[in-house]
Amino acid sequence: MTGWKIIDRAKDAKGQFAIEPQDAHDSCGFFAFANGASFRPMTLGDLDEVMAIERASFAYPWSSRFFLQEFQVECARSILVEIDGKIIGYVLFWLLPEGVDIHNLAVRSEYRRRGIGRTLLEQVILEALRRSSVRVTLEVRKSNLAAQKLYESAGFVATGIRRAYYSDDGEDALTMALDLAPSAQR
Ligand SMILES: CC(C)(COP(=O)(O)OP(=O)(O)OC[C@H]1O[C@@H](n2cnc3c(N)ncnc32)[C@H](O)[C@@H]1OP(=O)(O)O)[C@@H](O)C(=O)NCCC(=O)NCCS
């Protein structure tokens, strides 16, 4: 990933984002799904499908109650990606004064390694840039090397460890951050 110099991204007639990452031209995975993919916020009606992905993706998945709570949080935002009307991934994040904090990200297992996780991340980063946020942050399980690789591939760097961060099994979290340079927001 070469950085986040923002490029024009118009919404299409349905108000969906037509995504074209700056480095899409060397991302075969992106082109493998971009044409049929659309993005929109998560709604209550998506919860059953989202929960199926969530349960299949995590040893300690969020409960549906947790998702419902998230819907109540004023600064919480979500982005779903669909292909042919089927939800294949989602990301949830908070818009905070100090930056954007990612809380959950998952891609349906049979659609992984096609650039979808990275594209969801790009959506979050675009939102951060639109809001002139200077930082995107997240926590990831120390053992979740696949997710760490994804974040690193998007330019995130490790910033620290939160000991026993996860209350379910006491695993440590690695904190990661992406600093959005002012020059990237032109
Ligand atoms: C982590 C996750 C979201 C990645 O989604 P994805 O759509 O497969 O990711 P992408 O295809 O966009 O991968 C982009 C890059 O991330 C890295 N990456 C992603 N998955 C990887 C894996 N299993 N092993 C190593 N690197 C991986 C690679 O660098 C990859 O680029 P490449 O395919 O060109 O090598 C997905 O594996 C998932 O849903 N996992 C379970 C839930 C989870 O762990 N969420 C993160 C919580 S912090």
Quote the ligand 1 centre to 66 CA distance (angstroms). 23
Residue closest by Cα to atom 7 of ligand 1: 117
Quote the ligand 1 centre to 112 CA distance (angstroms). 7
Quote the ligand 1 centre to 107 CA distance (angstroms). 8
Q: How far apart are CA 30 and CA 118, in angstroms?
A: 9
Quote the ligand 1 centre to 147 CA distance (angstroms). 5
Residue 75 lies in a domain: yes
Residue 107 lies in a domain: yes
Residue 87 lies in a domain: yes
Bridge partners, residue 96, by sequence: 99
C-alpha atoms less than 13 angstroms from C-alpha of 157 in its C-beta half-sphere: 4
What's the CATH number where 112 sits? 3.40.630.30
Where does ligand 1 bind, in terms of residues with CB under 6 Å? Answer: 29, 57-58, 105-107, 112-118, 140, 144, 146-147, 149-150, 153
Q: What is the model's pLDDT at position 21?
A: 39
Q: What is the model's pLDDT at position 49?
A: 98
Q: How far apart are CA 10 and CA 21, in angstroms?
A: 13
Q: What is the model's pLDDT at position 152?
A: 97
Residue 52 lies in a domain: yes
Residue closest by Cα to atom 35 of ligand 1: 113
What is the domain extent for residue 33? Answer: 24-134
Residue burial 55-77, b: 16+ Cβ < 10 Å; e: rest:
eebeeebbeeeebeebeeeeebb
Q: How far apart are CA 157 and CA 179, in angstroms?
A: 9
Residue 46 lies in a domain: yes
Q: What is the model's pLDDT at position 36?
A: 80
Q: Which residues of the chain have pLDDT under 70?
A: 1-35, 182-186
The number of domains in the chain is 1
Q: Candidates 51, 55, 112: which one to mutate for ligand 1, based on the most atoms within 8 Å of Cβ?
A: 112
Ligand 1 atom closest to Cα of residue 102? 48
Could you tell me whether strands 99-107 and 135-141 are parallel, antiparallel, or unpaired per DSSP bridges? Answer: parallel
Residue 162 lies in a domain: no
Q: Candidates 54, 58, 149, 151: which one to mutate for ligand 1, based on the most atoms within 8 Å of Cβ?
A: 149
